[in-house]
Amino acid sequence: MMAKPPKHPEHGHRHPPYMMIFLWLTLLTAIEVFPVMTEIYFGWVPIPHHIWVPVLLIIALAKATLVALYYMHLRYDKSWLAILFLSPFFFAMLFGIVIVAR
């Protein structure tokens, strides 16, 4: 007599859209690298540094949030766990903005 395979309970969510998240991460990385490459190869900066540094911090925060929520599966955990994990990023961003503003 053959044993039946165990039944797995249904999860309350679909699989995360890994390729879409990967494409967003790639796009955000290209946006981060663009001003540096224009400065290195062409000698001009398209965006002043005092504006660009806070934008880079926001992009880095967005990328870290995407990775944490989807690749670390925090999106499907309890919301307090995601808030607990992601709260240091907001403090780091605030700290970075304060340093740039000086």
For residue 84, what are the domain limits? 18-101
Q: N- to C-terminal Cα distance for the chain? A: 75
SS3 for 37-92, per residue? HHHHHHCCCCCCHHHHHHHHHHHHHHHHHHHHHHHCCHHHCCHHHHHHHHHHHHHH
What pTM was computed for the model? 0.66
User: Does a structural domain hold residue 88?
Assistant: yes
User: Does a structural domain hold residue 72?
Assistant: yes
Quickly state the pLDDT bin for 12 (edges 50, 70, 90): low
User: Does a structural domain hold residue 12?
Assistant: no
23-35 pLDDT tens trace: 999 999 999 998 8
The structural domain count of the chain equals 1
User: Does a structural domain hold residue 13?
Assistant: no
CB atoms within 10 A of CB 57: 19
Joined together, the tokens standing for residue 16 give 């995360």
17-60 pLDDT tens trace: 899 999 999 999 999 998 888 888 888 887 888 888 888 888 98
The alpha carbon of residue 97 and the mean position of all alpha carbons in its chain are separated, in whole angstroms, by: 18
User: Does a structural domain hold residue 56?
Assistant: yes
DSSP three-state, residue 3: coil
